[in-house]
Amino acid sequence: MRRIKKGDTVEVVTGNHRGMKGTVHRILADKNQVIISGINIIKRHTKPTGRVRTQAGIIEREAPLHVSNVALVCPHCNQRTRVGYRILPDGGRARVCKSCNEMVD
């Protein structure tokens, strides 16, 4: 089970974007990376190539961050937090905020 899921609000805890918050837009599970809306924008300079119609110019897009560089922001206490787990009656597991003990899912 993953610490971070798509749609979570997270805060960047290290690097150039430390302190910025955003919503997880995409998860790259095999690389343990996440793409967060509006954070870590990179500019790519692209040239038109051959006959294939490609978008030329400067394209801005979000670059992935490693999950270890972000922390979940709890929707209940609105703080960045560590994630715990709680076993549910049906045998599933839910994520729990370690600050306020509320379930995040």
Residue window 79-98: x/- pattern of binding to Zn ion, with contact defined by CB under 5 A? ------------------x-
Residue 41 in contact with Zn ion, rule: CB under 5 A = no
- Which is nearer to Zn ion, 33 or 99 (by Cβ)? 99
Binding mask 6-25 for Zn ion (x = CB under 5 A): --------------------
Partners of residue 43 on adjacent β-strands = 60
How many helices (H) and strands (E) would you count in the chain? Answer: 0, 10
Q: Where are the beta strands (DSSP E) in the chain?
A: 9-12, 21-28, 33-36, 41-46, 57-62, 65-66, 70-73, 80-81, 83-87, 93-97
Contacting range for Zn ion; rule: CB under 5 A; set: 31-39, 60-68, 69-77, 83-91: 69-77
**Closest distance to Zn ion from the beta carbon of 69 (Å):** 20
